[in-house]
Amino acid sequence: MKNIFSIFNNDIKKIATNIIAFIIIIGLTILPALYAWFNIAANWDPYSNTGGLSVAVCNLDEGYDVKTISINCGGEIVTNLKQNTQMGWTFVDAEDEALSGVANGKYYAAVVIPSDFTEKLCSIITGELNQSEIKYYVNEKKNAIAPKITDKGVQTIQQEVDASFVSTITKTIATTLNITTDEVADKKTEVFDNINSSLSEVQQSIETFKSTITVLNSTLDTIENLVKTNQAILPDVDNLLAQSGTITTSTKDAIETTRNSSKQLTDTVGNILASTQSLESDISSQVNDAFSTLSSDAGAAANKLQGVTSINKKIIDINSKIISILENLSNTFGVDNSKLIDLLENANSKQRQSIEKIDAAANTIKTNGSLPLEQQQEITGLINESNSQIESLQPAFTSAKSAIDAAVDSVYSTLEKASGLMKTIDGDLPSVNNTLESACTTLSSMKTSFNNISDLLYNASVDIDVTKNKIKKLSENATIENFVDTILKDPDRLGEFVASPVTINTESMYPVKNYGSSMTPFYSTLAFWVGGIVLVAVLKVDLSKKDLRRLNRKVNSTQQFFGRYLLFMLLGLVQATIIALGDIFFLQIQCDNILLFLIASWVSSLVYTLLIYSLTITFSVIGKALAVILLVIQIAGSGGTFPVEVLPPFFQGLYPFMPFKYGINALREAVAGPYQNDFWYDILYLLAFIPVALLLGLLLRKPCIRIIAFFNKRVEESDLMV
């Protein structure tokens, strides 16, 4: 220990007794501080000076006349920009002038408002909906950061135009409506009464259909019993025909009744199929109603959309049952209904797609409070396609009905002939029996079809009751009147709300007053490392033979290491102190805790100088080069400027092993305010690099001494390098 301090005292005496050496040492301690201060000052508050970035603005908008009103949105944009100091807006008359200015670097960017800008904005009046566009040209060669800043400026223009447009349209609509709460209540009652009346009429029609089907089923039961009775008496048919001709007459009447019932069945199916068109119209109406209330009450709109899917499911149920009936008729009469069945199945597939899209839209509205226009258009398109498919079912059913009726006529004509033959033919009983069995099968299939239709009508009647109850509850809800009373009375307020329904309230955690203070940890840490490199570049790390003789005692390599390092450590601490105090009192950066800032500076300097000193004393010139390489890598990958998460994977992998990471983070804790014990954790991590430096300087140095000596000798012989 005595030898270590002797070496240090000897170094201090040599500096104190040599004025030139003393001046150089003063320069070495101040130079890193200048490096840090100039960089911090240059980055003090660049984003408040963006008004110096020249951006050309060329307005070619010709405006647009709406009846007696002349509108020129491009002119309004120019007027607003003239009051905006965010950018250095420069207004030019020709598009070529703006573009050439961007190309030659006179302007960082250019904004061109086309001649049809206002006309396209007003296309909403004509229903064409053509989007307006603003042309934006940017010179990315001139500067790397400037395009990012000008991009934000142009986005501000777009946001202002969007908000102004929405606000104006909304205020106009609200003013035009100009209705009172009482008027809305009266209209609402009238609408709900009409809906309930229509539903009651539909329900009454359904009950009539059900009664008809009940009568048809009773008729079929009678006919079936009659046919079975005929089958039972076939062995005695000769005697029966001889004794009575009334059975034949009754059979013909029954056959005619059955034929009429079958035709009534197809007519009933046609009526039910027609009813699905009304249900599809209800879907379209409710979806449009939901979209129209989206902006005012997103929750109600989502609930309405979810209610629509019940109608979709009802249509699917109706179509499925009709498909079952048609398949039964096909199997019974041998009629090809495959085309109509395919159309019904395609219609069901489209309904399922609608359910999926509407459920997804309802969930989006509940989550985000809004629904993109593209998604609205997609749902409307699906509904229109479903409506077209359902409309195409009626002609297809009419065609199929003709084939079914013809097949029924054919079957029952056969039955009539069989009935006539019973009068004249007194033989061939097995053929007559087969005919009667076929009639029994047909009657059973018809009964099954009628029962399916009856179940379908019952479910429809129950659904209508549920719908009527919901409409009753809705009619008693005062939400609509409240909306009119609170909003439409003040159109300006409505316009402002719709244009900007959400405001962002920003609360900074650990606020930093300027960009220079934010960059201080990075540039100060950089200066600490640069200071260490400057020291090893100017001062010798090895003791000369003259120094060893002056000590007049034997000194080992470890004592030489620590004895000379004390000088480097002292100068490094002086450098760190000057840098830190200059940051705080000269530049007046924000500093939440001065003591922590000084501690972080001293520990950083201690660790950095030890690392650089160890590299240099072990590897000589190569060590100095390695120190510079480490500096370059840490500048790029320590997270001092950009977040480490946006850096390439290579730097993200090295990040935890860089001392800059912990030095910068410790200084940030001192600048903006510490969080719990994070400051001391960073200091401990930073101190963990000391054993690494000692390993380099003490253990690794010994096997490298001869190699490095040989290397240094060859360098000296070149007479080119120091």
DSSP codes of every residue in 72-108: -HHHHHHHHHHT--SSEEEEES-HHHHHHHHHTTS-S
Q: What CA–CA distance (Å, rounded) separates 594 from 125?
A: 64
Same domain, 622 and 547: yes
Mark residue 136 as left, alpha or beta (left: phi above 0; alpha: psi -120 to 50; beta: remaining).
beta
Decide: residue 302, CB within 10 A, 0-12 exposed, 13-18 middle, 19+ buried.
buried
Beta bridge partners of 138: 109
From residue 550, give the alpha-carbon distance in Å to each of 17, 544, 554, 625.
Answer: 16, 10, 11, 32
Examine residue 601 and state whether it is found in any structural domain, yes or no. yes
* In contact, 556 and 58? CB cutoff 8 Å: no
Lowest mean pLDDT among 41-45, 579-583, 604-608: 41-45
Beta bridge partners of 90: 56
**Three-class SS of 175-240:** HHHCCCHHHHHHHHHHHHHHHHHHHHHHHHHHHHHHHHHHHHHHHHHHHHHHHHHHHHCHHHHHHH
pLDDT confidence tier of residue 281, bands split at 50, 70 and 90: confident
Share of the chain above pLDDT 90, in %: 25
Q: What CA–CA distance (Å, rounded) separates 278 from 290?
A: 18
List b or e across 444-479, with b for residues whose CB sees 16 or more CB atoms inside 10 angstroms. ebbeebbebbbebbeebbebeeebeeebeeebeeee
Mark residue 234 as left, alpha or beta (left: phi above 0; alpha: psi -120 to 50; beta: remaining).
alpha
Examine residue 269 and state whether it is found in any structural domain, yes or no. yes
Same domain, 263 and 411: yes
Largest CA distance in the chain: 158
Examine residue 217 and state whether it is found in any structural domain, yes or no. yes
Per-residue pLDDT tens over the stretch 473-490: 665 665 555 555 555 555
Beta bridge partners of 109: 55, 138
Lowest mean pLDDT among 106-110, 263-267, 621-625, 686-690: 263-267
Examine residue 322 and state whether it is found in any structural domain, yes or no. yes
Same domain, 62 and 41: no
- Counting the structural domains of the chain, the total is 3
Instruction: For residues 548-557, give the mean pLDDT.
Output: 77
Same domain, 381 and 242: yes
* In contact, 558 and 698? CB cutoff 8 Å: yes
Residue 244: predicted pLDDT: 41
Strands 54-59 and 88-92: parallel
Per-residue pLDDT tens over the stretch 314-336: 788 887 888 887 777 777 666 77
Residue 70: predicted pLDDT: 77
477 backbone dihedrals φ, ψ, rounded to 5°: -85, 135
Same domain, 702 and 671: yes
Contacts within 8 Å (CB) and 24+ apart, 78-81: 78/113, 80/160, 81/57, 81/157
Give me the sheet containing 135-138, strands edge to edge.
88-92, 54-59, 109-113, 135-138
Token pair belonging to 610: 């030890």
Q: Final residue of a domain: which of 451, 484, 501?
A: 451
Same domain, 330 and 394: yes
Chain position carrying tokens 């316009």: 495
| Average pLDDT of the residues of the chain | 78
Per-residue pLDDT tens over the stretch 586-599: 999 999 999 999 99
Mean pLDDT comparison of 114-123, 186-195, 399-408, 657-666, highest-scoring range: 657-666
List b or e across 645-679, with b for residues whose CB sees 16 or more CB atoms inside 10 angstroms. eebeeebeebbeebbbbbbbbbbbbbbbbbeeeeb
Residue 642: predicted pLDDT: 81
Q: What CA–CA distance (Å, rounded) separates 536 from 672?
A: 33
DSSP class of 57: E
Same domain, 29 and 90: no
Residue 453: predicted pLDDT: 76
Mark residue 134 as left, alpha or beta (left: phi above 0; alpha: psi -120 to 50; beta: remaining).
beta
Same domain, 286 and 302: yes
Per-residue pLDDT tens over the stretch 130-162: 777 888 898 888 777 778 777 777 777 766 666
Lowest mean pLDDT among 256-270, 304-318, 667-681: 256-270
Token pair belonging to 424: 């004249």
Query: Which are the contacts of 638, defined by CB distance < 8 A and separation ≥ 6?
Result: 522, 525, 644, 655, 658, 660, 661, 664
Examine residue 384 and state whether it is found in any structural domain, yes or no. yes
* In contact, 78 and 90? CB cutoff 8 Å: no
Residue among 220, 322, 309 at smallest CA distance from 271: 322
Per-residue pLDDT tens over the stretch 230-268: 666 556 555 544 544 454 455 455 456 555 655 666 666
Contacts within 8 Å (CB) and 24+ apart, 506-512: 510/672, 510/673, 510/675, 511/672, 512/590, 512/671, 512/672
Query: Which are the contacts of 109, defined by CB distance < 8 A and separation ≥ 6?
Result: 55, 56, 102, 136, 137, 138, 139, 146, 147, 150, 153, 154
Examine residue 458 and state whether it is found in any structural domain, yes or no. no
Number of H-type helices and E-type strands within the chain: 26, 6
Query: Which are the contacts of 39, defined by CB distance < 8 A and separation ≥ 6?
Result: 519, 523, 526
Same domain, 536 and 678: yes
Domain enclosing residue 96, as ranges? 50-177
Same domain, 274 and 213: yes
∠ at Cα 620 (560, 710), nearest 5°? 100
Q: What CA–CA distance (Å, rounded) separates 657 from 53?
A: 39
Same domain, 288 and 403: yes
Q: What CA–CA distance (Å, rounded) separates 231 from 438?
A: 11
Examine residue 186 and state whether it is found in any structural domain, yes or no. no
* In contact, 655 and 637? CB cutoff 8 Å: yes
Same domain, 411 and 321: yes
For helices 557-581 and 515-538, angle between their N-to-C axes, nearest 10 degrees: 150
Residue among 683, 671, 654, 707 at smallest CA distance from 519: 671
Examine residue 634 and state whether it is found in any structural domain, yes or no. yes
Per-residue pLDDT tens over the stretch 509-544: 888 888 899 999 999 999 999 999 999 999 988 887
